[in-house]
């Protein structure tokens, strides 16, 4: 049986046998992160948590604030070295804090950091309700991503995460502004006598959906866009059905009858919004009003005028 012999070679050899305790000579290393950026093993859980919290807070500071707090931290580090020694835990903790400040300052002074700060300024302006052009945000995002691709490898390896967080926030803020504008457009279109065309609603709806796809790719979800899309599709569908009903009533009245092409074109529009509502899952399967209206419109087409082009008579 396997438990009846000691580990060792199974062939004939002149070398001395393998130590019977070979499998116990090295202990399994403790669990934890590996590679560059590992904290001093002397730090306890509270000290590690404090450094992680500091790293998160530094990402929200400006270059001037970082330089100010670095000077404060350096003064504390020098005091810790004089009082406890350079090899003390207190000095090591403050040295790690200084390294975090230096990494963040170097990032903000780099091209990537400057582009990130520029995009953050645009985000702050949108939050304050100021007018920001789409082209400015697109250019700032493009410049930041270009700088991220071209920058050298960072020792900590986590700087790209902060840049992508800013990009995600920028897309989220642009989506919030466009959703608000689209909501105002829908509210205006619902007022009696308003002149908001289907083409205008369709154009803005496509822009809102394009931003929603970008947010999904970036893992951002505010939970408001799809409700707005459903409201827009319902409104467009109801308005198109109302226009088709007016054509049917005109066809039945006998006066100012529409042409067959007008009725057919309106039927296509109604079917288009109905398919879109089905794709988004907002169409009620039990609602047969659309089918009944389409069938009524087809029956009315037999009574409408047929437009014929000019006729040329030739002499025999």
For the stretch 158-201, pLDDT in tens is: 556 678 888 999 999 999 999 999 999 999 999 988 888 889 99
Among residues 109, 125, 147, the one where a domain terminates is 109
Two tokens at 57? 């807070």
Q: What is the mean pLDDT of residues 270-281?
A: 90
Among 202, 207, 204, 112, smallest CA distance to 166 is for 112
Does some domain include residue 4?
no
| pLDDT score for 159 | 55
Cβ–Cβ < 8 Å for 297, 240: no
Among 63, 150, 76, smallest CA distance to 103 is for 63
Does some domain include residue 153?
no
DSSP letter for 284, please. -
What gap in Å lies between CA 168 and CA 16, rounded to an integer? Answer: 63
Total domains in the chain come to 2
Among residues 109, 140, 165, the one where a domain terminates is 109
Does some domain include residue 229?
yes
Cβ–Cβ < 8 Å for 94, 76: yes
pLDDT in tens, 10-31: 555 555 555 444 444 444 444 4
pTM of the model: 0.61
Neighbours of 119 (CB within 10 A): 22
Boundaries of domain holding 50: 45-109
| pLDDT score for 55 | 86
Does some domain include residue 241?
yes
Q: Pinpoint the alpha helices (H) of 190-288.
A: 198-218, 225-253, 260-279
Does some domain include residue 132?
no
The pLDDT confidence band at residue 281, using thresholds 50, 70 and 90, is confident
Does some domain include residue 141?
no
Return phi, psi of residue 283, to 5°: -90, 135
Does some domain include residue 59?
yes
């Amino acid at each position: 049986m396997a438990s009846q012999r000691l580990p060792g070679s199974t062939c004939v050899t002149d070398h001395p046998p393998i130590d019977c305790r070979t499998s116990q000579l090295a202990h399994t290393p403790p669990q934890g992160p590996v590679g560059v950026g590992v904290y001093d093993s002397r730090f306890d859980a509270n000290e590690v948590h404090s450094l992680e919290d500091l790293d998160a807070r530094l990402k929200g500071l400006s270059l001037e604030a970082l330089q100010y707090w670095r000077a404060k931290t350096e003064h504390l580090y020098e005091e810790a070295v004089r009082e406890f020694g350079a090899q003390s835990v207190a000095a090591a903790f403050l040295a790690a804090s200084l390294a975090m400040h230096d990494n963040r300052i170097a990032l903000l002074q780099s091209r990537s950091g400057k582009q990130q700060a520029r995009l953050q300024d645009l985000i702050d302006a949108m939050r304050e309700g100021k007018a920001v052009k789409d082209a400015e945000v697109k250019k700032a995002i493009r410049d930041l991503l270009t700088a991220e691709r071209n920058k050298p490898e960072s020792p900590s390896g986590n700087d790209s995460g902060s840049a992508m967080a800013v990009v995600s926030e920028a897309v989220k803020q642009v989506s919030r502004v466009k959703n608000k504008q689209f909501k105002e457009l829908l509210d205006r279109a619902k007022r009696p006598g308003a002149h908001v065309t289907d083409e205008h609603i369709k154009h803005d709806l496509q822009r809102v959906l394009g931003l929603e796809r970008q947010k999904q790719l970036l893992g951002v979800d505010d939970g408001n866009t799809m409700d707005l899309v459903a409201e827009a599709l319902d409104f467009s569908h109801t308005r198109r059905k109302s226009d088709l009903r007016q054509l049917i009533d005109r066809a039945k009245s006998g006066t100012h009858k529409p042409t067959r092409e007008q009725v057919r074109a309106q039927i296509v529009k109604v079917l288009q919004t109905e398919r879109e509502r089905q794709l988004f899952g907002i169409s009620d399967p039990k609602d047969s009003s659309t089918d009944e209206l389409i069938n009524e419109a087809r029956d009315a087409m037999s009574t409408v005028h047929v437009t014929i082009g000019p006729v040329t008579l030739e002499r025999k």
